[in-house]
Amino acid sequence: GSGGHAPRPPLSGPRSGFRRLGLRGMKQRLLVVANRLPVSANRRGEDQWSLEISAGGLVSALLGVKDVDAKWIGWAGVNVPDEVGQQALTNALAEKRCIPVFLDEEIVHQYYNGYCNNILWPLFHYLGLPQEDRLATTRNFESQFDAYKRANQMFADVVYQHYQEGDVIWCHDYHLMFLPRCLKEHDINMKVGWFLHTPFPSSEIYRTLPSRSELLRSVLCADLVGFHTYDYARHFVSACTRILGLEGTPEGVEDQGKLTRVAAFPIGIDSDRFKRALDIDAAKRHVNELKQRFAGRKVMLGVDRLDMIKGIPQKILAFEKFLEENPEWIDKVVLLQIAVPTRTDVPEYQKLTSQVHEIVGRINGRFGTLSAVPIHHLDRSLDFHALCALYAVTDVALVTSLRDGMNLVSYEYVACQGSKKGVLILSEVSDQL
């Protein structure tokens, strides 16, 4: 942390990241590369696929990007071992301007569940490296890191097939820290940006990662590196100076005359999309149903991915404490918790799910009646109009992250609160503050 507020150099300039990368004219071609495509695919037959737009902050943020001709490259979240299925999915995705990267189950296990979600994600959120069995972790680490590099090369191979001179390639998140190097080694003139959607930890934490130097050098191959906040940009620059011995400048990081620009670009949402949604009949019906259902009770709402960093058990226990200390509120308030399951094959996440269910069951048993319970908990995402309706009728939205990147729920809630003007309670470690 920094003592007080240092004067902020151009690292946090308001200029658009696109302009920095040279996106000037109308309809600049942009290749967005992220681990997941913004659609989820379900197989309906040998050569039939159904697609739906996924939930998630990255999708919500990037739907707000205008005036570019964007194509999205990523993994469709399904294993497709056969040619026929791959071709059919490629064709279906092309209509949504998406291009698939096909990863087999072994790579997904080692790269996605292993290196990304078991090592980088906890470390970047200050949870440290997995402690269970240090020796087993060390052995797995090697093979997971190899899989991580292999997977990044597979993403790069797909980029090469679709790249045209003058395209800007925008790489996203901790899954693809190796990608800038792969791309620049292929063609030094590619315009490459890399943006991190999570915190970047202080260099003291980051240096505990065995592959720390290799990942930093790979990211530095990009022309522009972006973070949510000035603090994360500063942490990254100080990791480069302390671990690699490079020079930090107000513009970024310099290595033998080559400058990688580093800057903060706070992310937002397309708020009009949420406001427009509330004018649609389906959303109005939802709003009326919810108002009737919870008439006479204040509605508190949490919308989170079911993840350790989101503070869901803590939020529910705080609600229990509120009911204990204010018994007159027991039948006058309801907490709606939407907890979208993710990473369901990672043991830590399975543990969290059963922990949350247990707490909800105990509190509902303690304070509920036959006709009403204080907590309604959903283990799934809502469709867009239902979610907007829920935001619109909510009196108090709770974002209780223990450590988070840019959590967009707060923005989405405010965008839908035109008529109600409810209360937003925001964790002090959220980046929106």
271-426 and 29-264 share a CATH fold: yes
pLDDT at 63: 64
Q: Left, alpha or beta for 263 (phi > 0: left; psi -120 to 50: alpha)?
A: beta
Least confident segment among 13-22, 87-96, 221-230: 13-22
- What is the model's pTM? 0.83
DSSP character string of 86-127:
HHHHHHHHHTTTEEEE---HHHIIIIIIIIIIIIIHHHHTT-
pLDDT at residue 56 tops 70? no
Instruction: Evaluate if residue 16 carries a pLDDT over 70.
Output: no
What is the average pLDDT score of the chain? 89
| Percentage with pLDDT > 70 across the chain | 88
For 66-89, write each residue's pLDDT tens digit.
778 889 999 999 999 999 999 999
Per-residue model confidence (pLDDT) at position 2? 37
Domain range summary for the chain, segments of one domain joined by +: 29-264, 271-426
% of the chain surpassing 90 pLDDT: 69
> Domain spanning 29-264: which superfamily?
Glycogen Phosphorylase B; (3.40.50.2000)
Q: Is the pLDDT of residue 138 over 70?
A: no
**Whole-angstrom Cα distance, residue 416 to residue 408?**
13
As given in the structure block, the two tokens for residue 68 are 């570019």
CATH code of the domain occupying 271-426:
3.40.50.2000
